[in-house]
Amino acid sequence: MVLNKKEDITKTLKMVYEKINSGVLESYWTGFKPLPIAFYNNSHVYIIGLDELPKGFNKEGEIFVGDWDNRFIGNTSIKFQENYIGIWDLSTIEEFTTFSEFYSKIVHEIFHGFQLSNNDKRFANEFLAFQYPFTVENIALRIKEREYLLKSVFEDEKDIKENYMKKFISCREKRRSIIKEFLDYELGLESIEGTATYVEYRALFDESRLPKKYLISMFGKDLIKVTDLSKFRMSCYSPGMYISLLLDYVKPDWKKEYTYENKYIYDYFVDVVSLEFENIEIDDQTINLAREAVEKRKKELDKVFEEFETSSKYKVVLMGKFNLAGFDPMNILKRENMLLHKNFLKFTDGENTYFVKGPVVSEFEDEIWQYSKIIFYSSKKPVLKDDNIVFVEEIGTINGKLIEKDRAFLIKL
């Protein structure tokens, strides 16, 4: 699909809005109601479904058109004039070949608005993501767990299906005993993104009428991609969808109750099925696959950190005691005691707060929010302005002793 012309944009926007207002959303999820929708590009925003004309927008029939601003970033749901609205970046639409695919993605995003409007608190703690323990034992159990989850969804024989569900739960509970609160990161993603993916699947089936089993397998293909941990966050979406499908099987009316629950969808599922756990032994082949995945991830991390060191700009190393003041937890990589912040890092030296655009590396000793070094690259050489006052292009002035050493500029606070 390509939506460049204004008439194509508005026509498609109307088609999507008409579809979601036809009553179909309630069939995807109990209580799921339509939201206003916005399509945007780098110059304009097109909104349908709002009651009042936003400031700076013009009314063109059913659609409000205005200039783009930074409230419209990504494909998601946002709060706009006291309403949640689904938004979509038109520059990302070319990956879709059919209207049904695009429509289902819009449904996914407005479902997040539904979750937010219901004050759902089950969002993943992204602070756990970059600390997640990628150990061979954990990943091996996770491989088997996903295999059993996949089999349980596609199995038709009741006793065999329940046995697969039991094995899935047993693997996961053993992992919980090993990685403890870090499992909550996965459970949160399953509960929010996984259920939105389930609704996306329901919308795609409704619009495309492709065979259910084909679509279910398409959404679950990453369940068996065992050696690629580079997209770990997204790999947690399909288990949430598959657990939703199992809940359809064991308790068809589960959605209304679950919407207002505080439990993660996995924990809710465990309570519903009430299956006893069993001890799970992992075979050598799975352990070897897990070891391969963990080693591959380590090499990928090493490569990213090594590439950070190859910048042609001026290396700046701040040395002292710094405390975290802000960062983007979804765009951080951790290697040993170093964190690579892809987007930005905000930190304080106790008196002043500094902001550095990524990539920037912080080194910690005991706690991940307390740093002994901040490393980044500057477009200009740091300059000593006065005794122990250094000017750095990217952060301004900072108090410290400037030392040039091994092509790096050290600033000791």
Lowest-confidence region among 51-60, 148-157, 250-259: 51-60
Look up residue 236 and give its DSSP letter. Answer: G
**Given a cut of 80, is residue 1 above it in pLDDT?**
no
Q: What are phi and psi of 408, to 5 degrees?
A: -125, 155
Q: Which of 44-58, 84-98, 260-274, 345-359 has the lowest mean pLDDT?
A: 84-98
So what's the pLDDT on residue 230?
87
Beta strands across the sheet bearing 37-40: 57-60, 63-67, 44-48, 37-40, 83-89, 76-80
Rounded to whole angstroms, how far apart are CA atoms 105 and 97?
A: 12
354: CB partners within 8 A, 6+ apart: 346, 347, 348, 395, 396, 398
Cβ atoms of 287 and 335 closer than 8 Å: no
pLDDT of residue 357: 92
Model pLDDT, residue 97: 78
CA–CA separation, 137 vs 175, rounded Å? 8
Residues 302-310 have a mean pLDDT of 95
pLDDT at 271: 96
When pLDDT is averaged across residues 177-202 and rounded to a whole number, the result is: 97
Instruction: Give the count of alpha carbons within 13 A of 57, CB side only.
Output: 23
SS3 assignment, position 411: strand
- What is the CB neighbour count within 10 angstroms for residue 159? 8
**Predicted local confidence at residue 95, as pLDDT:** 75
pLDDT tens, 231-270?
899 999 999 999 999 999 999 999 999 999 899 999 999 9
Return the percentage of the chain with pLDDT > 90, whole number.
82
Residue-wise burial string across 300-335, b where 16 or more C-beta atoms lie within 10 A, e elsewhere: ebeeebeebeeeeebbbbbbbebebeebeeebbbbe
pLDDT at 202: 98
Bridge partners, residue 175, by sequence: none
Read off the pLDDT of residues 357-395 as tens digits, 9 standing for 90 and up: 999 999 998 888 999 999 999 999 999 888 889 999 999
Give pLDDT, residue 237: 96
- Phi first, then psi: give them for residue 347, nearest 5 degrees: -145, 165
64-79: average pLDDT: 92
CA dist 32 to 26, 35, 156, 300, Å?
Answer: 5, 10, 29, 41
Q: What is the mean pLDDT of the chain?
A: 93
Sorted by where each begins, the domain ranges of the chain are 6-117, 126-273, 310-412
Q: Which two tokens stand for residue 185?
A: 């990161």
Identify the pLDDT of residue 224.
86
Tokens of 227: 């050696």
For the chain, what percent of residues have pLDDT higher than 70? 100
Token pair 């609160």 is found at 181
Pairing of strands 401-405, 408-412: antiparallel
pLDDT band at 38 (very low <50, low <70, confident <90, very high): very high
The rounded distance, in Å, linking the Cα atoms of 327 and 346 is 6
Higher per-residue pLDDT: 164 or 42 = 164
Averaged over 71-92, what is the pLDDT? 91
Query: Which neighbouring-strand residues pair with 347?
Result: 324, 354
pLDDT for position 269? 98
Tokens of 329: 């937890």
Task: Supply the Cα-derived Rg of the chain in whole angstroms.
Answer: 25
Residues 340-354 pLDDT 10s: 999 999 999 988 999
User: pLDDT per residue over 319-332, tens digit each?
Assistant: 999 999 998 888 89
Q: Which of 23-26's residues contact partners 24+ apart within 8 Å by CB, and which partners?
A: 24/203, 24/206, 25/107
